[in-house]
């Protein structure tokens, strides 16, 4: 059967779509009665205002991103074979990058599966179907995933802000196999524990892997390190494996800190990791009052600016993090400041951090700027796919 047609409004330039931009916003599409009647996740052929076909898209009349490009061939179709081709292509890249099957397998639009995130933990995969089309075709997606990768266990993590924006309900479901414990993940010479059913996002942040490694190199000769917003010990465990004498992990989540402690024990560093549960800002203020100093301080907070409306407040929060963290760095030590807010670009984030460090009466040099690992490829036409920034500073006395 022929697919429905959706059309760009007059005066909307079709060239960004032709050149790879994957989204059509609600105010760019003709939303007549037939378009509004389409089920969320329905397939359609996108045309420009001159009725020239542009792409195969999925449509969600309930979302500000009303159409997402699935294929630039308007004659393509969403079939098991189509999904297996996309997943095979993604798997081939990760097979070149990593020796073991622990990585982000699908990074949404950048891997040609808009709104879909899949993280792999050995024989287990966690899918985040954050777009209506993926939720509507979840069974077919899971079948294709199992066929291509051979994973035995699959979890659907249907939580988070992105699903709410699509009008999708929250749900957490084991779709294949069973999950009865956190999953051990080898990474950067340490063993992490990912709580794939109750942790943040998919249970572990693979995107910081290269930044964990770079930070660990800064304390390979020993020293004390502080990991603020630690989650399950991302930077702390890598630093201990790299040669740090001790690490202090700070987080507001007791379960996350418990997993960090278990990971340290599994990695052979259990006696060298300390944890402190509490608000990150209050804890940094308390550590300064205690006179604590560290050769390496890392702050990896949640997204303070998840959208443009939160940008000003988010930048003030990043500035405050830098102001409170800088006094905790020993003379000549290192400060790592991270942002996963796509609304705060690198220049704005760097300026906020510089102001914060200056307000703490410290100065320094930027040694390195880190981004997400290569299992989180960027789609050059979509700035949101390059969300992660990590600034590595060496501070003076």
pTM of the model: 0.95
- Across 148-160, average pLDDT: 95
Residue with tokens 């037939």: 34
Confidence at residue 384, expressed as pLDDT on a 0 to 100 scale: 87
Residue 1 pLDDT > 60, yes or no? no
What is the overall mean pLDDT for the chain? 96
- Reply yes or no on whether the pLDDT at 314 is more than 80: yes
> What mean pLDDT comes out for the span 112-129?
97
Is 242 within 8 Å of 223 (Cβ atoms)?
Answer: no
How many angstroms separate the CA atoms of 129 and 152, rounded? 19
CATH architecture for the domain at 188-395 = 3-Layer(aba) Sandwich (3.40)
What is the model's pLDDT at position 154?
Answer: 98
CATH number among 3.40.30.10, 3.30.750.80, 1.20.120.1760, 3.40.50.12370, domain 80-176: 3.30.750.80
Q: What is the mean pLDDT of residues 284-301?
A: 98
5-71: CATH number: 2.30.130.10
Q: pLDDT at residue 397 above 80?
A: no
Query: Tell me: the pLDDT tens digits for 173-210?
Result: 999 999 999 999 999 999 999 999 988 889 999 999 99
- 338 is a catalytic site residue: no
In the 3-class helix/strand/coil scheme, how is the chain assigned residue by residue? Answer: CCCCEEEECCCCCCHHHHCCCCEEEHHHECCCHHHHCCCCCEEEEEECCCCCEEEEEEECCCCCEEEEEEECCCCCCCCHHHHHHHHHHHHHHHHHHCCCCEEEEEEHHHHCCCCEEEEEECCEEEEEECCHHHHHCHHHHHHHHHHHHCCCEEEEEECCHHHHHCCCCCEEEEEECCCCCCEEEEECCEEEEECCCCCCCCCCCHHHHHHHHHHHHCCCCCCEEEEECCCCCHHHHHHHHHCCCEEEEEECCHHHHHHHHHHHHHCCCHHHEEEEECCHHHHHHHHHHCCCCEEEEEECCCCCCCCHHHHHHHHHHHHHHHHHHHHHEEEEEEEEEEECCCCCCHHHHHHHHHHHHHHCCCCEEEEEEECCCCCCCCCCCCHHHCCCEEEEEEECC
Domain boundaries, the chain: 5-71, 80-176, 188-395
Pick from 107, 161, 129: nearest CA to 58:
129
On the question of pLDDT at 263 being above 90, the answer is yes
Q: Which of 156, 299, 338, 340 is catalytic?
A: 340
Question: How much of the chain exceeds pLDDT 90, in percent?
Answer: 94
Mean pLDDT value of segment 236-246: 98
């Amino acid at each position: 059967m022929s697919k429905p047609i959706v059309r760009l409004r007059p005066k909307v330039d079709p060239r960004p779509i032709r050149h790879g931009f994957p989204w059509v916003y609600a105010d760019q599409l003709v939303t007549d009665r037939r378009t509004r009647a389409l089920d969320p996740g329905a397939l359609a052929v996108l045309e420009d205002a001159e009725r020239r076909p542009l792409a195969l898209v999925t449509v969600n009349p309930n979302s500000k991103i009303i159409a997402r490009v699935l294929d630039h061939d308007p004659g393509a179709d969403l079939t098991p074979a189509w999904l297996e081709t996309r997943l095979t292509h993604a798997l081939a890249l990760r097979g070149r990058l990593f020796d073991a099957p622990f990585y982000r397998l699908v990074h949404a639009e950048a891997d040609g599966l808009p709104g879909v995130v899949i993280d792999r933990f050995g024989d287990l995969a966690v899918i985040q179907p954050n777009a209506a089309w993926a939720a509507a075709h979840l069974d077919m997606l899971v079948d294709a995933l199992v066929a291509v990768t051979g994973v035995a266990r699959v979890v659907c993590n249907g939580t988070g802000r992105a699903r709410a924006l699509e009008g999708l309900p929250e749900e957490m479901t084991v779709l294949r196999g069973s999950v009865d414990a956190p999953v051990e993940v080898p990474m950067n010479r340490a063993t992490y524990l990912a709580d794939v059913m109750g942790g943040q996002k998919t249970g572990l942040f693979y995107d910081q892997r290269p930044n964990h490694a770079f930070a660990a190199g800064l304390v390979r000769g020993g020293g004390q390190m502080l990991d603020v917003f630690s989650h399950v010990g991302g930077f702390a465990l890598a630093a201990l494996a790299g040669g740090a004498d001790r690490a202090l992990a700070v987080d507001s989540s007791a379960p996350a800190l418990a997993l960090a402690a278990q990971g340290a024990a599994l990695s052979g560093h259990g006696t060298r990791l300390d944890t402190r549960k509490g608000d990150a800002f209050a804890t940094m203020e308390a550590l300064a009052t205690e006179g604590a100093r560290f050769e390496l301080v890392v702050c990896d907070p949640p997204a303070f600016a998840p959208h443009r409306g939160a940008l000003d407040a988010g930048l003030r929060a990043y500035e405050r993090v830098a102001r409170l963290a800088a006094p905790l760095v020993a003379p000549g030590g290192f400060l790592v400041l991270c942002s996963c807010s796509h609304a705060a670009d690198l220049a704005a984030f760097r300026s906020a951090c510089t102001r914060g460090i200056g307000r703490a009466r410290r100065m320094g040099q930027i040694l390195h700027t880190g981004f997400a690992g290569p299992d989180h490829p960027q789609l050059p036409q979509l700035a949101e796919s390059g969300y992660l920034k990590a600034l590595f500073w060496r501070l003076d006395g």
